[in-house]
Structure 1
Amino acid sequence: MYRLLVVDDEAIIADGLTEILGGLGIPGLDVCKAYSGIEALEWLDRTRVDIVLSDIRMPELDGLELMERIRRKWPRCKIIFLTGYNDFESVYKAIRTTGVRYLLKTEGYAKVTEEVRAAISELDEEWRTDHLLQQAKEQRNTLETLAQGDYFRHLLLGSGTSDPEERGVDFRRLAVPLDSSRPVLLVLGSILKSAERPSYAERQEIALAVKLLADRYLQDHTEFVGIIDRYGDPLWLIQPVGDVQIEIHAYEDAVRFLEGTLELVQEACSEALDTEMAFTVSGFSCAWGTLPAAYDRIRQLQHVRIGDGASMVLTAVAEPPETVGSSRELIRAERFEVLAGHLESGRRDAFFSLLKEIVEPVHSGGVTDKALAMELYYSAALMLLSYINRRQMHEQTPIGGLMLFDTHTTWEEGFRYLERTSEALFAHRRSGEGNRAAGAIQEIGGYIEKHLEEDLSLVCLSKRFHFNPSYLSRVFKQESGLNLSEYIDKARIRKAKELLTREGLKIHEIGVRVGYEAPHSFTRFFKKSTGMTPQEYREATREAP
Structure 2
Amino acid sequence: MYRILIVDNEPYVVDWIAALLEAQIDREIDVCRAYTAAEALEWLTRSRTDIVISDICMPRMSGLELAGQVKVRWPYARVILITAYAQFDYAVTAIQNNVAGYILKTQGDDVIVSEVERVMAMIDAELNQRSFGGPAADIQSALPELRSQFMRMLLEQEPEDTDKVNAQLESLKISMDADTPVRILLGAVWEWESLEDLVVRRQLAAKMIGQMNACLGDCGSLYPVDLGGSRMACLIGSLPGPANVPASDGGQAIKGAQESALLQGRLETLQDACAAGGVCHISFILYPQPVFLRDLHEAYRSLEAQMNRMTLEKDVFVILGKAEKVKRTVDPEVISRRLRLFLEEDRFDKFLEALSYYQALARDRRIDTGDCYNIYYSIALLMNSYLENRQLPRTDQIRQMSAVLFDPPYAGQWTEKFEMLIGFSEAVFSTESELKAGISRNTVEAVKRYVREHISEDISLTRLSEVTGYNTCYLSRIFRAQTGETLTEYIGKKKMDRIRDLMRDPDLNIGEIAEKTGFLSRTYFNRFVRKYTGMSPKNYQLSLVSINSLTERHSPSII
Q: Report the TM-score, using the length of structure 1 for normalisation.
A: 0.85
Name which of 414, 419, 422 aligns with 1:419: 422
Cα deviation code 1:145-180 (max 9, x no counterpart): 2331232223224353665x8755644442325575
SS, match of residue 185 in structure 2:
strand
Instruction: Tell me how far apart the structure 1 counterparts of residues 75 and 385 of structure 2 sit (CA, whole Å).
Output: 47
1:490 maps to 493
Deviation at 1:187, TM superposition (A): 1.6
* Equivalent pair of 1:278/1:312 in contact (CA under 8 Å): yes
2:555 maps to none
1:119 maps to 119
* Structure 1 pair 223–140 and aligned structure 2 pair: CA distance change class (3 A): closer
* Structure 1 pair 506–161 and aligned structure 2 pair: CA distance change class (3 A): same
Deviation at 1:17, TM superposition (A): 1.4
SS, match of residue 24 in structure 2:
coil
1:154 maps to 153
Is 1:279 the counterpart of 2:284? The answer is: yes
Alignment-mate amino acid for residue 214 of structure 2: R
Deviation at 1:236, TM superposition (A): 0.5
* Equivalent pair of 2:192/2:201 in contact (CA under 8 Å): no
Deviation at 1:482, TM superposition (A): 1.2
**Aligned pairs (5 A) from 1:11-160:** 11-74=11-74, 77-85=77-85, 88=87, 91-94=88-91, 97-98=94-95, 99-124=99-124, 126=126, 133-134=133-134, 136-143=136-143, 145-160=144-159
* Structure 1 pair 212–46 and aligned structure 2 pair: CA distance change class (3 A): farther
Is 1:536 the counterpart of 2:536? The answer is: no
* Equivalent pair of 1:222/1:241 in contact (CA under 8 Å): yes
Instruction: Tell me how far apart the structure 1 counterparts of residues 359 and 320 of structure 2 sit (CA, whole Å).
Output: 32
% identical equivalent positions: 26
1:475 maps to 478
SS, match of residue 4 in structure 2:
strand
* Structure 1 pair 371–110 and aligned structure 2 pair: CA distance change class (3 A): closer
Instruction: Tell me how far apart the structure 1 counterparts of residues 41 and 374 of structure 2 sit (CA, whole Å).
Output: 62
* Structure 1 pair 510–229 and aligned structure 2 pair: CA distance change class (3 A): farther
SS, match of residue 3 in structure 1:
strand
* Equivalent pair of 1:63/1:81 in contact (CA under 8 Å): yes
1:234 maps to 232
SS, match of residue 57 in structure 1:
coil
Alignment-mate amino acid for residue 329 of structure 1: R
Higher mean C-alpha deviation, range 24-33 or range 152-161 = 152-161
Instruction: Tell me how far apart the structure 2 counterparts of residues 127 and 368 of structure 1 sit (CA, whole Å).
Output: 48
Alignment-mate amino acid for residue 172 of structure 2: L
SS, match of residue 275 in structure 1:
coil
* Equivalent pair of 1:285/1:320 in contact (CA under 8 Å): no
Alignment-mate amino acid for residue 472 of structure 1: L
SS, match of residue 107 in structure 2:
helix
Cα deviation code 1:329-386 (max 9, x no counterpart): 3222213432343344332332233223323343447x99545544443333233223
* Equivalent pair of 1:79/1:100 in contact (CA under 8 Å): yes
1:429 maps to 432
Name which of 275, 300, 318 aligns with 1:313: 318
1:379 maps to 378
* Structure 1 pair 474–222 and aligned structure 2 pair: CA distance change class (3 A): same
Deviation at 1:37, TM superposition (A): 1.9
Higher mean C-alpha deviation, range 100-109 or range 410-419 = 100-109
* Structure 1 pair 421–267 and aligned structure 2 pair: CA distance change class (3 A): same
Alignment-mate amino acid for residue 439 of structure 2: R
Alignment-mate amino acid for residue 405 of structure 1: P
Higher mean C-alpha deviation, range 72-81 or range 282-291 = 72-81
1:186 maps to 184
Segments of structure 1 that go 5 or more residues without pairing to the other structure are none
Deviation at 1:77, TM superposition (A): 4.5
1:217 maps to 215
CA RMSD of aligned residues (A): 3.5
Instruction: Tell me how far apart the structure 1 counterparts of residues 4 and 235 of structure 2 sit (CA, whole Å).
Output: 54
2:260 maps to 255
1:203 maps to 201
Give the total of aligned pairs: 533
SS, match of residue 190 in structure 2:
strand
Instruction: Tell me how far apart the structure 2 counterparts of residues 388 and 414 of structure 1 sit (CA, whole Å).
Output: 19
Cα deviation code 1:40-78 (max 9, x no counterpart): 233334444343322222111122322333455556544
* Equivalent pair of 1:5/1:31 in contact (CA under 8 Å): yes
* Equivalent pair of 1:211/1:227 in contact (CA under 8 Å): no
* Equivalent pair of 2:178/2:294 in contact (CA under 8 Å): no
* Equivalent pair of 2:372/2:414 in contact (CA under 8 Å): yes
Instruction: Tell me how far apart the structure 1 counterparts of residues 343 and 124 of structure 2 sit (CA, whole Å).
Output: 37
Alignment-mate amino acid for residue 445 of structure 1: K
Instruction: Tell me how far apart the structure 2 counterparts of residues 12 and 289 of structure 1 sit (CA, whole Å).
Output: 69
* Equivalent pair of 1:343/1:426 in contact (CA under 8 Å): no
Is 1:395 the counterpart of 2:399? The answer is: no
Instruction: Tell me how far apart the structure 2 counterparts of residues 105 and 394 of structure 1 sit (CA, whole Å).
Output: 58
* Structure 1 pair 19–232 and aligned structure 2 pair: CA distance change class (3 A): farther
1:331 maps to 330
Q: Report the TM-score, using the length of structure 2 for normalisation.
A: 0.83
* Equivalent pair of 1:6/1:32 in contact (CA under 8 Å): yes
Cα deviation code 1:440-466 (max 9, x no counterpart): 222222223233344533344335534
Alignment-mate amino acid for residue 437 of structure 1: S
* Structure 1 pair 236–369 and aligned structure 2 pair: CA distance change class (3 A): closer
Cα deviation code 1:255-313 (max 9, x no counterpart): 33333333333343344354333333223433334311221232233234324443333
* Equivalent pair of 1:3/1:30 in contact (CA under 8 Å): yes
Instruction: Tell me how far apart the structure 2 counterparts of residues 361 and 84 of structure 1 sit (CA, whole Å).
Output: 75
Greater relative contact order structure (CA < 8 Å, 6+ sep): 2
Is 1:301 the counterpart of 2:306? The answer is: yes
* Structure 1 pair 111–372 and aligned structure 2 pair: CA distance change class (3 A): closer
